[in-house]
Structure 1
Amino acid sequence: MSDQLQSTLKRLFDRHRIVFWYDAARELKNDFDALSMDGVEKLEIVNNEFGLKHRILRQEPKQRFLLYQHGPKPRNEDNWLLDVLLAEGELRTDQAAIWLSELGLGPEFGDLVSEHAEFFGAEKRKQALAKMLKGDDVASALRLKMLAVCAGAEPRIDSLLEHLFQELADDRDEKQRLIQRCGLEGFLWKQLERYFGYRSDNPGLRDFVVELFKSAYAHGTSGEMTLTEGALVMLKRWKDSRRFAEGFETLSAECAGVLGIEQDLLKRDFRQLLELDYFELIDRKIIHDLVHAVAERAWAPGEIIAWVQQRRQSHWYREDFASLYEALEAAAAFVRALDESELGMESLADGYRHYHQTWYKLDAYYRRFIHHLRSASQASLMGPLADQIENLYVNNYLLPVNDRWQAYVDRAERWAVPDAIAQQRFFDHWVQRYLDQDFRICVIISDALRYEIGADLQRRILGEDRYDCRIEPMLSQLPSYTQLGMASLLPHQALEIEPKKGASVLVDGQSATGTANRDKILKKSLDGQAEATTFDVVMGLNKDDLRERLKGARVLYIYHNQVDRVGDKRDSEGQ
């Protein structure tokens, strides 16, 4: 008796008291004779059906029996033991039965296994299926799991389709052809009809994909759908899947061409499309219309900002499109801020106050607009708006403010603004106060941080919800250039510009060019209890090394590497 038959019989007796064995090929009589199983009595069917039935049902109702017939199973109408057979188990020794046995499936799946013999002929497929099986599986669940094995998917219709869609997007068809060979294609179409309402005289995966996009787009624009709500849910899941996003985008572009989406969008109001992101063309349409809306003042800036923020949920809101949307938001915010700004001033102090309270936002919005515009590879879409923002920034903001500011500067007897802290007082005003209280203080210096950028940094720091942060303006030195600005932040009694040495600056007679010289100035002023270093050096040290290096330093000046590249090289100052 083979181990396989022995194992099969054991599983059958775990579920049944009586097991029938019809040896149709008359090849296994010796195996039957040699069989010995604890608690199982062997009986042979030889024209003794009535006697057997009486014994197994009446005389010994608790005994387990193996009933063997040397020959094929009789037809149902000729089988006097049919009622018992239907109620109990049957050992089958054909190929289908062997597969059933290997998988632990009952005889009710015999026809299914025979129908899909191609599937069960591969050991790897059987092993993969075995891992998915559950005791309460019905035929439809079993076939779905077989489809999942063919596609390398999870046994869910959405997972199955995601894998098949990806193969379609990759212009391959190995999985589809395997499904056909295994006789599962008809079942697949029935499932698409059941779950999604897909019907076609010539069903196909590509046809279903086109119908899927068509139905979703129609639902979003006209409220009509040819497929079910379940199809819409499945499409959104596929669209939002990181693993299958590339396949979604490939098929989305293909379906957009088939469905004539570009032509249809021409007649659509972009506001109809704000909830849709099935096609990249939708975002192009929205961006195009919003560009003109800002440039032509067709909508209030606040509405445009709200629409842009709504599009942040779009599948396509990343990389290039994200830059375009962010540029649009900055442009709308700039226009709104310009409309709300009174750009007049009555004194230097008035202009100084206006700038650090409100006007700085105009520089911030303009900077963000230019930054995002330069980050976008499709900046040509912003053409009309870019020209207008530049014109508004220069002619409606910079020139008027500069002219009024310059008029007051020309009339001023000295460079000072009441209640404004001058840059050269930085150390005395900000650093010394902490030293007087025996605090240690770290100063991070980056002259690229204009006031409006500092305000942006403050907003981000406060957004962490872990730190306190405040910002105050200072009045820059004149002339305003990097070397003088750097020197002004150091402790000093006197500053001196050396025009013959590239306008370098002396601090109390000591050159302030370069980090090493600034370190000397700090140490001299603070009896060696100070350190000047660079951002790159600090980031290259571990915690212990940094602690050792800074031991005894009451003041630490950290110069960002950007500053050294720019501040120490006058020919790069415009960077």
Structure 2
Amino acid sequence: MDAEKIIQDLNRRFTAPLPEFYKRRVIFWYDEDREFENQIDEISLNDAKLVKLNGSNCFAIKKLLLMDDTASNYLVYCPVSFEHPEDNWLLNIELYSGEPFRADLNTIWVDEMGLPASQMFRKQVKQYHKFFNSKDRRTKVAAMAGSISMSAQMHLAVMAVICGVKDISPNSIIRAVLKVGLDVENNAIYRGIVNYGAQAAFWALIAQATGYKNTEEQNLAQLATHILLTAATRTLRREYLNGLDSFISTPHQSFCYDFVSDWLHSDDLHDLYKVARIVETEARLYQRFSKLSVEDLRDTECFPCINEVILTKMMTEIKDQIIQVDVIAQTVEKRRTMVWYAFMSSYYEGLLQIAKMQAFFLEHSAGFHTAKAKDIWKEYTTDYYRMDSYYRAFHLCFQRSLKVSNDLLDDLFKHVVEKVEALYSGWYLNGLGSNWSDIAAEELKKHGYIEEVNRHTAFYLSNIQHCDTRVFVIISDALRYEVAASLSEQLRRETQSKVTLDSMCGIFPTITPYGMAALLPHKKLSVQARPNGGLAVLADGQSTESTNRGKLLRAANPASVALQYRNIIGLKRADRQALIKGMEVVYIYHDKIDEASHTSDSSVFPACDEAIEEIKNLVRIIVNEFSGTRILITADHGFLYTYSPLTEDDKVSKNSWNGKEVDYGRRYAIMEKDAQPEYLMPVQFLDGRTDYAAFAPRENVRIKMNGGGLNFVHGGISLQEMVVPLIDYHYIRTDSREYQRNRAKIDTKPVEVSLLSANRKISNMIFSLNFYQKDAVGDNREKANYLLYFADSAGKVVSDTARIIADKTSDTAQERTFRCTFNLKSLSFDNKEIYYLVITDESGLQLPQREEFQIDIASEVDEFKFF
């Protein structure tokens, strides 16, 4: 500050109105650093006299001000400091003279930042002179000035700016340092703390907040270990960490737990992952935790390696032929609400599927011994198909796991695959296939279909021909029954509709030419030998190739059209609408699953999920753009898929065919009438009205032939191939009477959770509450995720956050309960205030629920006075 500016400021103060009863103004100018000592004589004031203290003239100046001249204004320049107040002879005059004047940089900066004009803050600004010698840094501290009233808060503000955070909470500062790395030499933020002289304050803060006191080494890795292990003792018994006591401070458990919990639920999660991995390695936690049980570890989430330990233990048990269904289900239920779950979800969800497969096995441990074909059909379409769904879901998880690659788990998970294959192929497919082949053989030989089951070939006659409304038909190649079951469930939940799932007995052989022909209008299906080999399928003597299907539809109803999904999906709305204008019957052919099989067998299961999404989108287009309300979704055939390579026992040779084959694939053979192939069962072919005979392998056996496609097959008589789904989708418009009458049953809503526990008083820092999912997921009730925490009346969060994944499908209320544990933050609680349990939808689409609570805990929270 130059002399002119100083003179202006002083003259302004001297000319300001005097307080009541004052006759003059005396201003003390302190300049302990003597920054203006050489310029003081240049100071010329309009209406005030200047006197200078030199340390030995205090009495003389006091006499001047009190005796010799009591009328003049005075500026008392004081370049000296007094060690004790009693040494300052002018203290009484100073006290009634008002705020001293200061023109040093420290005072100017304190004033500029809006901080209290106290000696304490001036000293701190002087201490951090290098830091404050930057307009940008001073501006950032000024933004925090409202939170600074104590010395410790000033230190926090300096560190906050160095760390690049916008608040002065110790939590934010410590996290900012640790997330950059644990090597002090290469940690840019920590080097900044050292560079600006704040390291002593930083380690003093660490000692008070976390209890870590080995500050001489300035070891960030030890600090991280201390914080994480201390936090872990909140949910892990202390004796499990014996030998690591020097890294644990029980009195600081709350701060460390809150610190880690906040970090876990922040955007910096990946930084915590790296830090936690370093700590795990240094403290050999994987080896330590491996000695504990799954139940011991289930509730702790500080360390990612806990997931690896839990998964290793469960996978090893499965490898050793032990599948504890309840343990796996309960563990996945608990772990999936935790943050690190996402890193391991493919493994956890894979194990959950094998638990479901094992539960299915236990339900049907007696095997498959149904005596009538129609009864097996019913059991498959109401129950057995679930095993196919579990198997598909498992292999989707397994394929995802190959992309994340975990050295500890990969090989073990491959052993789990072996158990899955044994359950699915060795027990389920063989057992069910044997029962089905034995019981259905007679009807298939006599009729080629199962009596008392809807026939594939009657589809048009039964569903289209006499329909009095416009109907859309989506035919998805190889959409097998269990995939259609998933699709129908999603359509029920996600759309305003009535959806029913039925089945049809697929035409044999269960391959595309026959299946697509069966769905067209016809009186009779026949075959005709092709010049280059094989058979062409005809409907009433007409070709059923894709190019002729529209013609066949128009022959039955002139207002018909056949479209390809791939051709219409990229069109503009108007162009699509033009294609179906005036049409009463619209067939749309979709091919995702079968098409994927031509790329690789392993592409089939992912393609099933993609097919579901594409068909749902197509339904949306039909409803919204075409104003369609009736949609039938079906397929030409299903498929068999097994992951494991097949053995020679799973194949039959063509040695006994004697050249009588006309057309064949892995799962069927069309031969001359007099053929008698070994190991194949006869199936009536096209109602016996041809010159050919048809045969199929039993169970899931394949016919030996050159080429690939051994794992994904269709064409045979297995339930997975022959059960053709039929979804009848009826969209209900909001202006219809049906909607108005049944709105509560039609509108889709997320399921809700509510508090079950009756007690509304909390007396412990750690406590648990029970919750209840009001409705089962299904039909018009969809799953929802909820976040739960406690807050005060101002909305400040006072606990950690629990998570409920409300996706229970059981009709039994007892099986739709959840138990959540909460940890209160290390704060002062007032037992006269109201606190709230907040239950909020994770998607933000529902209004939060609030339940009133009283928190009655005698707690003392230390202010941060660390320096």
Same fold (TM over 0.5): yes
Cα distance in 1 between the residues matched to 2:11 and 2:562: 84
Q: Retained in 1: the 8 A contact 2:440–2:450?
A: no
Q: Retained in 2: the 8 A contact 1:446–1:559?
A: yes
Per the alignment, in what secondary structure is the counterpart of residue 100 of structure 2? strand
Pairs within 5 Å for 1:307-456: 307-318=331-342, 321-341=344-364, 343-377=368-402, 378=405, 379-412=410-443, 413-432=446-465, 435-436=467-468, 438=469, 440-456=470-486
Per the alignment, in what secondary structure is the counterpart of residue 503 of structure 2? coil
Shift, 1:149, TM fit: 0.5
Q: Retained in 1: the 8 A contact 2:193–2:199?
A: yes
Q: Give the match for residue 315 of structure 2.
A: 291
Question: Cα deviations across residues 13-46 of structure 1 (Å, max 9, x unaligned)?
Answer: 99x97753346534555775367xxxxx756457
Q: Retained in 1: the 8 A contact 2:350–2:394?
A: yes
Per the alignment, in what secondary structure is the counterpart of residue 190 of structure 1? helix
Which residue of 189, 196, 205 maps to 2:203? 189
Amino acid of the structure 2 residue aligned with 1:385: V
Residue-pair matches, total: 556
Change (3 A) 1:328 1:122: same
Cα distance in 2 between the residues matched to 1:185 and 1:476: 77
Shift, 1:173, TM fit: 1.6
Q: Give the match for residue 62 of structure 1.
A: none
Cα distance in 1 between the residues matched to 2:62 and 2:393: 92
Cα distance in 2 between the residues matched to 1:338 and 1:48: 103
**Bigger Cα displacement from structure 2, 289-298 vs 16-25:** 16-25
Per the alignment, in what secondary structure is the counterpart of residue 228 of structure 1? helix
Question: Cα deviations across residues 484-521 of structure 1 (Å, max 9, x unaligned)?
Answer: 2122222223323345365443333443333x433333
Q: Give the match for residue 507 of structure 1.
A: 539
Shift, 1:361, TM fit: 1.1
Q: Retained in 2: the 8 A contact 1:442–1:556?
A: yes
Q: Retained in 2: the 8 A contact 1:301–1:336?
A: yes
Pairs within 5 Å for 1:540-559: 540-559=570-589
Q: Retained in 2: the 8 A contact 1:361–1:452?
A: yes
Change (3 A) 1:104 1:215: closer
Q: Give the match for residue 28 of structure 2.
A: 20
Question: Cα deviations across residues 36-79 of structure 1 (Å, max 9, x unaligned)?
Answer: xxxxx7564576656757999x99xxxxx985234525645454
**Bigger Cα displacement from structure 2, 498-507 vs 210-219:** 498-507
Change (3 A) 1:162 1:93: same
Per the alignment, in what secondary structure is the counterpart of residue 588 of structure 2? strand
Q: Retained in 2: the 8 A contact 1:53–1:81?
A: no
Which residue of 227, 232, 253 maps to 2:277? 253
Change (3 A) 1:487 1:43: farther
Change (3 A) 1:359 1:561: closer
Q: Retained in 2: the 8 A contact 1:495–1:507?
A: yes
Per the alignment, in what secondary structure is the counterpart of residue 559 of structure 1? strand
Cα distance in 2 between the residues matched to 1:405 and 1:280: 47
* CA RMSD between the two structures: 3.5
Change (3 A) 1:71 1:190: closer
Shift, 1:349, TM fit: 0.6
Cα distance in 1 between the residues matched to 2:372 and 2:68: 118
Q: Give the match for residue 137 of structure 2.
A: 125
Question: Cα deviations across residues 135-183 of structure 1 (Å, max 9, x unaligned)?
Answer: 7532222221111100111322222222211211698322111111222
Q: Retained in 2: the 8 A contact 1:8–1:101?
A: no
Question: Cα deviations across residues 392-412 of structure 1 (Å, max 9, x unaligned)?
Answer: 222322122222222233322
Shift, 1:192, TM fit: 2.0
Q: Retained in 1: the 8 A contact 2:14–2:48?
A: no
Question: Cα deviations across residues 341-375 of structure 1 (Å, max 9, x unaligned)?
Answer: 25211111111111111111111112222222232
Change (3 A) 1:141 1:348: same
Shift, 1:477, TM fit: 0.9
Shift, 1:385, TM fit: 2.6
Q: Which structure: greater strand fraction?
A: 2
Pairs within 5 Å for 1:170-189: 172-189=186-203
Q: Give the match for residue 696 of structure 2.
A: none
Pairs within 5 Å for 1:73-112: 73=80, 75=82, 76-77=85-86, 79-83=88-92, 85-86=94-95, 88-105=98-115, 106-108=117-119, 109-112=121-124
Cα distance in 1 between the residues matched to 2:75 and 2:500: 92
Per the alignment, in what secondary structure is the counterpart of residue 129 of structure 1? helix
Change (3 A) 1:482 1:126: same
Cα distance in 1 between the residues matched to 2:545 and 2:7: 91
Cα distance in 2 between the residues matched to 1:483 and 1:54: 121
Q: Retained in 2: the 8 A contact 1:566–1:572?
A: no
Cα distance in 2 between the residues matched to 1:54 and 1:344: 121
Shift, 1:107, TM fit: 3.3
Change (3 A) 1:293 1:73: same
Question: Cα deviations across residues 67-93 of structure 1 (Å, max 9, x unaligned)?
Answer: 523452564545444245356322222
Amino acid of the structure 1 residue aligned with 2:118: P
Cα distance in 1 between the residues matched to 2:450 and 2:462: 16
Q: Give the match for residue 554 of structure 2.
A: 523
Q: Which structure: greater helix fraction?
A: 1
Cα distance in 2 between the residues matched to 1:371 and 1:55: 98
Which residue of 250, 267, 272 maps to 2:291? 267
TM-score by length of 1: 0.86
Cα distance in 2 between the residues matched to 1:218 and 1:563: 50
Amino acid of the structure 2 residue aligned with 1:368: A
Cα distance in 2 between the residues matched to 1:474 and 1:12: 102
Change (3 A) 1:415 1:84: farther
Q: Give the match for residue 207 of structure 1.
A: 222
Task: Establish whether residue 152 from structure 1 lines up as the match of residue 164 from structure 2.
Answer: yes
Amino acid of the structure 1 residue aligned with 2:28: F
Cα distance in 2 between the residues matched to 1:13 and 1:471: 93
Cα distance in 2 between the residues matched to 1:169 and 1:432: 74
Change (3 A) 1:324 1:567: closer
Cα distance in 1 between the residues matched to 2:219 and 2:206: 10
